[in-house]
Structure 1
Amino acid sequence: MQDILFVIGGRAVTVLEASVAAGFMLLGLILMVAWSALRQIRYRSDEESAAAERIHELEQHLSTLLRSQGEMSGRMQTMAEIFGSRQSDMMRAVNERLDSMGHKLGLSMANTTKQTHEGLQQLHERLAVIDRAQRTITDLSGQVVELQSILSNKQTRGAFGQGRMEAIIQDQLPSSAYTFQATLSTGSRPDCLVHMPNGAPSLAIDAKFPLEGFNLLRKALNEDHLKQAQAQFRRDLSKHIQDIHEKYLVPGETQDTAFLFVPSESIFAELNESFEDLIQKAHRSRIVIVSPSLLMLSIQVIQAVLRDAKMREQAHLIQAEVAHLTDDVGRLNDRVTKLQTHFGQANRDIEQILISTDKITRRSRKIEELDLGDLPSANLEAGQRLPASS
């Protein structure tokens, strides 16, 4: 009922006020129609005098209705004023509540904006971390693809194994203790020759492990493919072991044992777990299959042997120097003995000198004790001498 229906002259007219005005207008229209009817009735003929009394009563009723209309109009005016004041109070309360809600909503929006900004900042930071991780993964994927391409080519795979083997040996041994790609008297060229001490034959190391058959093992899709891959791997490795035995085991020039370097610990573990027959065949052919960790351990043992041999060589030099030092000490002892003899003779001479000085001192004291005033001059002229002492 308090809804605004329309605005006239800057005043808002509500539904209630419009309803009251419509009621008044309808009542006024009814009164006008009744009043017109009464006027027509007055001008009727005298035959209608019987109805005059009724008309008079009707006029009284109409007057009563007019008074009621005036009272109702006053009451409606009062009600409109009351409703207007209440409406203004209600509008003021609504505005205050709207202002309070707007302030709270503004604070809430500010907090929400701040939290959203912080969340977006954290999200950007996490996205940056994810982006860096993704770039790292992309780089690693590229490196894995590059490594796969290296391992898929026989020449590049051999260079990869050669590089790992060379890095291990270069880190452990001096440059004079090994030679890469050395040529033997038979014309064969092992990947590395480790020179042993004391003129012992060198140790040959091969870094060309056949991976074609092993890659087929990993790519096998069923049991038949697996069996074929195992047979191919056995043939390749057996031939490679035989080639190392024939080419690199040269009597008097190399050791009677050679190393076959496997550039992967996982391949070495799979080889020992699933291909025990190949390991035994390698042992019978005096070929030791080594992984990077075993090669490092073996090189450390060789390094200890080289250090011991070098210490033995230095021990001979030390013994020679000690012998020379002993001769020098003997000569020094002779010279000190001679010097001691000279010192003894000098001590005896000093003792004789001290005896003579003591005698001279005693004689001078005796001379001081003599009384030369009572002696006759003749005795002096006779040249009497004092008794000589021994």
Structure 2
Amino acid sequence: MGLPSESFYVCFMNEILFEFGGRPVTVLETAIAGGLLLLTLIVWLVLKTMREIRLRAETDTASAERIHELESHLSQLLKSQGEMTGRMQTMAEVFGSRQSDMMRAVNERLDGMGHKLGLSMADTSKQTQEGLRHVHERLAVIDRAQRTITDLSGQVGQLQAILSSKQTRGAFGQGRMEAIIQDQMAPSTYSFQATLSNNSRPDCLIHMPNGAPSLAVDAKFPLEAFNLLRKAESDDQLKYAQAQFRRDFSKHIQDIGEKYLLPGETQDTAFLFVPSESVFAELNESFEDLVQKAHRARVVIVSPSLLMLSIQVIQSVLRDAKMREQAHLIQAEVGHLIADVSRLNDRVGKLQSHFAQANKDIDQILISTDKISKRSRKIEDLELGEPEGKGQDVSASEPQLALTPKS
């Protein structure tokens, strides 16, 4: 094992043992006081011994030499005591300076640790506040989602209440079908609740162009047995619900074929509108035989999206028929347009001849101006000469001008 380090001794010497009069007393101070007390006790014992020896020396002269030796030993002991006291004071000063340096280093480290701890606590507080802000935002989103779910549950309850009654369910399907048709078609191209020759009233009749029979649309899909399918909890209930749904659906397909498929009055195909995409998907997935049976009976099952697509196709057919009806008007307008283009071509030719004549006139004008310019330059080249008979009376003869060219 190695010797303890200097810092260990310093820490051990600066350890507080007790307090005296409100002042802490360290191990170093206690050791110094103990050493001084021990030296004082030794000196006292030595002095006491010397007194005894002196007393004996008065009676015994033989011990004088011993007393002299003891005095020399005592002086050496006092000298050693002084040296020890000086060394202990030096050690106390060294330990004091070391203690102050250590306290200063400890304070600096504590300050540095306090600064780092403050920064760390500030960062932690900032991160905590940021996390709490995110938590509050998430809680707000969850609160909104919960309110939305509550609203949706209320709406689902209302929808369930609507679909629980056959009359309200029929009104719901009729309303969706009417909304889709009204948004896509002109009012003159359809009729709601129109009466046929057999006194039946389909939910909608779509009028086809060119006097073609109308297309019947039915919106009373049998949902009673279908709801039983969803509510079935056992195999027996499921089989009963499936059988009930097949009977109701087959009966409804038969009623549509008998009431709405009238030769010469309606198309040989009718639409059965299902007001829900999920019901339409379940019907095609689990009851393919019923779908095939409807196709054989010339009844097409349509969902809201398929009804919108079918209406767009019918609109294209109506636009094409209308364009064919107006074809003669289009041809007449095209003839008028051709005549207008011919007249425009003639007028452009006349305008071009006018421009050619104007260009010719401009060329002639330029020739005349060129001649005028040349004559003006000739006039500028001439000089005015003096009249003949110079010195005669001007009043006696008429003035004459002589034009002489410039030298």
**TM-score, normalisation: structure 2:** 0.64
- Correspondence for 1:248 among 238, 241, 260: 260
Partner of 2:34: 22
The within-5 A match list for 1:95-114 is 95-114=107-126
Would the alpha carbon gap of residues 313 and 2 (structure 1) be closer, same or farther in structure 2, given more than 3 Å must change?
A: same
Code of the aligned partner of 2:250: S
- Correspondence for 1:173 among 185, 207, 231: 185
Instruction: Provide, for residues 321-340 of structure 1, a one-character-per-residue CA deviation record: whole Å limited to 9, x for no partner.
Output: 89xx9xxxxxxxxxxxxxxx
Shift of 1:80: 0.9
Would the alpha carbon gap of residues 277 and 62 (structure 1) be closer, same or farther in structure 2, given more than 3 Å must change?
A: same
Which shifted more, 106-115 or 266-275? 106-115
Task: List gaps (5 residues or longer) in structure 2.
Answer: 1-12, 337-407
- Write the distance in 2 (CA, Å) between the matches of 1:316 and 1:75: 135
Code of the aligned partner of 1:98: L
Partner of 2:304: 292
Q: Rg larger in 1 or in 2?
A: 1
* Secondary structure in 2 matching 1:209: coil
Q: Does residue 90 of structure 1 match 2:111?
A: no
Partner of 1:80: 92
- Correspondence for 1:217 among 223, 229, 235: 229
- Correspondence for 2:172 among 160, 167, 171: 160
- Correspondence for 1:276 among 284, 288, 291: 288
Shift of 1:38: 5.8
Shift of 1:207: 0.9
- Write the distance in 1 (CA, Å) between the matches of 2:243 and 2:14: 98
Partner of 1:65: 77
- Write the distance in 1 (CA, Å) between the matches of 2:56 and 2:165: 133
Code of the aligned partner of 1:241: I
- Write the distance in 1 (CA, Å) between the matches of 2:50 and 2:164: 123
The count of corresponding residues between Structure 1 and Structure 2 is 323
Instruction: Provide, for residues 38-62 of structure 1, a one-character-per-residue CA deviation record: whole Å limited to 9, x for no partner.
Output: 6567668999999998777666655
Q: Does residue 203 of structure 1 match 2:189?
A: no
* Secondary structure in 2 matching 1:289: strand
Code of the aligned partner of 2:282: E
- Write the distance in 1 (CA, Å) between the matches of 2:231 and 2:104: 83
Partner of 1:232: 244
Would the alpha carbon gap of residues 183 and 32 (structure 1) be closer, same or farther in structure 2, given more than 3 Å must change?
A: farther
**Residue pair 2:57, 2:63 contacting (<8 A) in 1 also:** no
The within-5 A match list for 1:21-40 is 21-33=33-45, 35-36=47-48, 39=51
The within-5 A match list for 1:300-379 is 300-315=312-327
Would the alpha carbon gap of residues 133 and 23 (structure 1) be closer, same or farther in structure 2, given more than 3 Å must change?
A: same
- Write the distance in 2 (CA, Å) between the matches of 1:70 and 1:108: 55
- Write the distance in 2 (CA, Å) between the matches of 1:6 and 1:249: 116
* Secondary structure in 2 matching 1:228: helix
- Write the distance in 1 (CA, Å) between the matches of 2:58 and 2:20: 51
**TM-score, normalisation: structure 1:** 0.66
Code of the aligned partner of 1:306: L
Would the alpha carbon gap of residues 107 and 284 (structure 1) be closer, same or farther in structure 2, given more than 3 Å must change?
A: closer
Shift of 1:161: 2.0
Would the alpha carbon gap of residues 35 and 145 (structure 1) be closer, same or farther in structure 2, given more than 3 Å must change?
A: farther
Shift of 1:87: 1.8
Instruction: Provide, for residues 203-248 of structure 1, a one-character-per-residue CA deviation record: whole Å limited to 9, x for no partner.
Output: 2211121223223334444544432222121012112222323433
Shift of 1:184: 3.9
- Write the distance in 2 (CA, Å) between the matches of 1:41 and 1:225: 130
* Secondary structure in 1 matching 2:205: strand
Instruction: Provide, for residues 310-364 of structure 1, a one-character-per-residue CA deviation record: whole Å limited to 9, x for no partner.
Output: 3454457789x89xx9xxxxxxxxxxxxxxxxxxxxxxxxxxxxxxxxxxxxxxx
Shift of 1:265: 3.2
Shift of 1:287: 2.3
- Superposition RMSD on alpha carbons, in Å? 4.1
- Write the distance in 1 (CA, Å) between the matches of 2:44 and 2:90: 25
- Write the distance in 2 (CA, Å) between the matches of 1:81 and 1:279: 109
Would the alpha carbon gap of residues 124 and 312 (structure 1) be closer, same or farther in structure 2, given more than 3 Å must change?
A: same
User: What percentage of aligned pairs have identical amino acids?
Assistant: 78
Instruction: Provide, for residues 257-294 of structure 1, a one-character-per-residue CA deviation record: whole Å limited to 9, x for no partner.
Output: 32211123343333234323322332343322222233
- Write the distance in 1 (CA, Å) between the matches of 2:120 and 2:330: 90
- Write the distance in 1 (CA, Å) between the matches of 2:186 and 2:94: 112
Would the alpha carbon gap of residues 201 and 10 (structure 1) be closer, same or farther in structure 2, given more than 3 Å must change?
A: same
Instruction: Provide, for residues 175-195 of structure 1, a one-character-per-residue CA deviation record: whole Å limited to 9, x for no partner.
Output: 122122334454443221222
Shift of 1:128: 4.5
Partner of 1:342: none
